[in-house]
Amino acid sequence: METQRTINRDFSLSGKGLQTGKKVEVFFYPEEENKGIILKRKDFPKNEPLVLGSGGLKFNSSRRSIVGKGKNSVETIEHVLASLHGLGIDNARIEMTGSEPPGMDGSAKIFTEAIRKAGIKEQKEERRYLRITKPLWVEDKEAFVGIFPSDKFKVSFLIDYPVASIGRQTFSGEIEPEIFEKEIASARTFCLKEQALLLLKMGFGKGANVKNTLVMDADGPMDNELRFPDEPVRHKVLDLIGDLYLLGRPLKARVVGVRSGHRLNLKLMEKLKKEYACK
């Protein structure tokens, strides 16, 4: 029997939020069995906690994942959730001093390392997997993300960008803690060079720079080096793993993404929530 897991002790990390550019701190706390993943804003202490997987929880997205509504919402949470999902953490409470966690290096690496340093505690209750029993998918023009029955958690992804330094990239594999740590966690967020200024004008990425975001031109990342030859597609997998954990349950499923992003991922999450999470 696989049992649930939590972190062994509490810890915190601080830095600037990728979107707001404001200094923020995120606190990780252990939780009891069957409590799930809980998100809370420390700057609004009277707010009700956001329990992932609960029926009334709303998802929203543009270029990042948003959970909740108004002042009782958190954004850009996907890298934290990817760390929890990838390491198999079932129960934890995450509290933030702002609307988003710190961006760190633009990946899930530092969150993952901090969880490992704090330690992972095996609990007594059995893991409560979300087992997919029939195919579900959403699509928009050439973008697609779907989920299919499987006895393992597997992710396949394809991206295709009209810039020579990215082009067509694919990744496919079973997601286990060791694979996640080695192959996925350190892949950083990216954007095309021509998108960078546009995003800033739109109010996004105020805490982003060429060190925590791969700004890709034809020759590669500006003032940076790739950690993997196919780092962009690996980061897309990281984001998808994080978005999938908005349901608050580990998966037994095969997930396939083609040119998908947060907006389409969260449409699939809403579809899954209606089909499974509220039953």
Ordered by start, the domain boundaries in the chain are: 3-128
pLDDT at 115 over 60: yes
- Give yes or no for a contact between 108 and 51, defined as CB atoms under 8 angstroms apart: no
Determine the Cα–Cα distance for residues 157 and 154; give it in Å rounded to an integer: 10
pLDDT, tens digit, 9 for 90 and up, residues 154-172? 999 999 999 999 999 999 9
Band (pLDDT 50/70/90 cuts) for residue 205 is low
User: What pLDDT score was predicted for residue 209?
Assistant: 86
- With b meaning 16 or more CB within 10 Å and e meaning fewer, what string describes 102-140? bbbbbbbbbbbbbbeeeeeeebeeeeeebebeeebebee
Question: For the ranges 38-47, 143-152, 207-216, 229-238, which has the lowest average pLDDT?
Answer: 207-216
Tell which phi-psi region holds residue 21, choosing left (phi > 0), alpha (psi between -120 and 50) or beta.
left
Whether residue 88 has pLDDT greater than 50: yes
Catalytic, 262? Answer: yes
Q: What integer pLDDT is reported at residue 195 of this predicted model?
A: 75
pLDDT given for residue 279 in this prediction? 43
Q: What pLDDT sits at residue 274? A: 87
pLDDT band at 138 (very low <50, low <70, confident <90, very high): very high
Give the fold, CATH level 3, of 3-128. Answer: Ribosomal Protein S5; domain 2 (3.30.230)
